[in-house]
Each structure stands twice: as C-alpha cells, then as structure tokens.
Amino acid sequence: MNITEKEFGQGAVLYRLENDNGYKLDVTNLGARIVAFYVPTRNGIKNIVLGFDSAEEYLQKDTYIGATIGRVAGRIKDGNFVIEGKPYHTTQNEKGNTLHGGPNNFETKLWLAETKQNLHEANVTFTYTSLDDEQGFPGNLDVKVTYTLTNDNVWQVEYEAKSDIATLFNPTNHVYFNLTGDVTQNVGEHTLQLASEKFAVVDADTLATGEVRSVAGTPFDFRRGEKVAQVFDTDYEQNTLVGGLDHPFFLEKAEPQAVLVSPAEDIKVELLTDEPSVVIFTAQFDPLPEMHGQKLAYHGGLTLETQVSPGALEHGFGDIILPAHKTFKSQTSFKVTTH
C-alpha cells in the first residue's frame, strides 16, 4: 500500500491511495470527494469514475461530482421540515427546494484530512464541523468520512456523525461510474443488476411524489441484469420526465445489492451498503461539461448514491432524524473485479 499527496489548487490536496495490485484511488479534501479511480484491465489502465483535474474545475463546472453530499442528499420540498415539533427552514437552491443540503455545502468545503495505512489497506479520514443553523439545519454537527482502498480492490466509504441538537442527516457519495474509461461514451451499454423490486416515482422537479412503484413490467426492472439503455430507449413517462434515471431504488437484502459491468465485460463493480436505497442518476447534464479536455457524453456517467430515499420525511421512506448526541454510522463499499 502506498499514499502520496500533491497540491490540487484552491488550498486543496489530492491524495492517491495505491494498493499492491496497481489500483489507484485519488481523493481530495475539497468536498471529501473521489476524483479518480484507476484500475488495471486487459485493455489497459482505466479511470472508472468521472472527475476533474483541479479544484478550480470542480468549483467552476460541477461541485457535486464525486463529492460527499450533506447534510441531506436529494431534495427537501420547499426547504421545510419539522423535528420534535419544531419547524425548520433550509436554504432553497433549486426550484424552491433544498437540493443536496443547500448551496455551498459539504461539497465545496475544505475538510481536514488524516491518512493511515497498514499492509492490507490505506485510508484517508476527512472531518468537517457543520455549524448550528448552517443552511438552516439545527445543531453543530461533526462529520467524519473515511475512504479506504484495500488489497482486495475494495473502495469503502464510512460515515460517522454526531450533533448537539436533533437534526437531519442523510449523506451520500455522489460518485459517477463510467466503466469504459472514456468520458465521451454514454453508459447505455453498461449492464446493471439491481436487487430492487420498487422505486420512488418522481415529478418533473425530481421530487418524490410519495408513490412507490413496482419495477415489474417497467424499463426500471434491473433485477436480472439489463443494459442501462433500456431506460433511455423508451417513452416511459418516468424516463422522459427527467431525461433518464434520476430515481431512488429501494434495496432488498442481497449481497451485493448492485452490480455494474462495463460494455467490454472487463470491469465489474459490486455495491454493498447498509443504506436502504440507492439513487441512480444518469448524468443528463445541460450543459455538458468538458472533462480531461473532452466533452462529457450525455448520459456519460451513472451514480450509485446510497442513502435513505429522498422524500424520507414527507413520505415515510425511512428515518433521517439524528437525535442529539447519538452517533450516526453507515458504510458503503464498491468491490472492483477486472479482467
């Protein structure tokens, strides 16, 4: 195992965790994010996630790509919620709703970082204190995110958090996979297998409507493993409404809960999480950013954002209230196999 550091601009640092098999995971303290993940295949070394080459580019082009999102991933309708009978209001930053914890949140902060390694794994722990009333959320919240790369070719993300006042907490990692290693190719020919029987229906503002729909008989049925293009190629209203996938899928008990395979079948990513759902967004960006000197393809990436489904509070999808002084813990891992 090996860890190196270099400047990433804007006061940020790029950490490279490298395992004994030549896998390299690049992460930065700007937004506690994953920047690149290089994996060796029979077709050469490929970077399997979207990312930019400097801190400046993230701040100019897209602050969510690869970042830790919080305090609440997804949308809070009208920025309104109630905890223990007390109403709160968070900053509205998208169509009157609070998206990804409000503007300039976890994803644009410079987190403190600490690295560690032993014979089997290397890790970076990022910490950040979100102050009481930041973006309207109650409580001083200490957040810790640890990224680990193991010699079994697993990238693991662990969260820990504690607040002095009851608050909302539902973080995620906004990683986008593109297993072709080529940002000009869309993800349509990737095969996705998902242990999910149901998804949350969304409206034109990508707010969960409260309807939970069976995937059976819809293009959102990935239980047996299907090409992602089966969604793009239909006029199914849930596709046309948001231009692809931008949906929470409720996860069944399974190991792994999701498998993503590259078109050339040289890379497989397996997801394991203790979170109850995964939001899959297929990067229908407008405008499409330049990335590594090339224009990112429409549908040029696919997220596997593990979390409690957005709409949790309004529709009872799960509990995202973190009681005062209670420690929040969760973890998600991505195991990569290459040929």
Which residues contribute to the site for ligand GAL (CB under 6 A)? 64, 99, 206, 246, 279, 281, 305
DSSP 114: E
Q: Between vectors from CA 43 to CA 35 and to CA 67, what angle results, nearest 5°?
A: 10
**Closer of 24 and 247 to ligand GAL (Cβ):** 247
| 2 touches 123 (CB < 8 A) | no
Question: Of 18, 100, 174, 247, which residue is the catalytic one?
Answer: 174
Active site (annotated) includes residue 292: no
| 296 touches 290 (CB < 8 A) | yes
Tokens of 164: 């002095």
SS3 at position 56:
helix
Nearest distance from residue 61's CB to ligand GAL, in Å? 11
Task: Please tell me the distance from the alpha carbon of residue 21 to that of residue 45, in angstroms, as a whole number.
Answer: 12
Query: How many residues would you count in the chain?
Result: 339
Nearest distance from residue 246's CB to ligand GAL, in Å? 5
Give the number of other CB atoms < 10 A from CB of residue 210: 13
Backbone Cα Rg of the chain: 19
Task: Please tell me the distance from the alpha carbon of residue 260 to that of residue 70, in angstroms, as a whole number.
Answer: 25
Nearest distance from residue 305's CB to ligand GAL, in Å? 6
Nearest distance from residue 268's CB to ligand GAL, in Å? 24
**Closer of 206 and 330 to ligand GAL (Cβ):** 206
Nearest distance from residue 308's CB to ligand GAL, in Å? 13
Active site (annotated) includes residue 315: no
**Closer of 47 and 63 to ligand GAL (Cβ):** 63
Question: Of 18, 57, 270, 305, which residue is the catalytic one?
Answer: 305
Label residue 286 exposed, middle or buried (CB < 10 Å: 0-12, 13-18, 19+).
Answer: exposed
**Closer of 93 and 193 to ligand GAL (Cβ):** 93
**Closer of 18 and 305 to ligand GAL (Cβ):** 305
- Cis check: omega of the bond before 33, within 30 degrees of 0: no
Please list the active-site residues: 174, 305
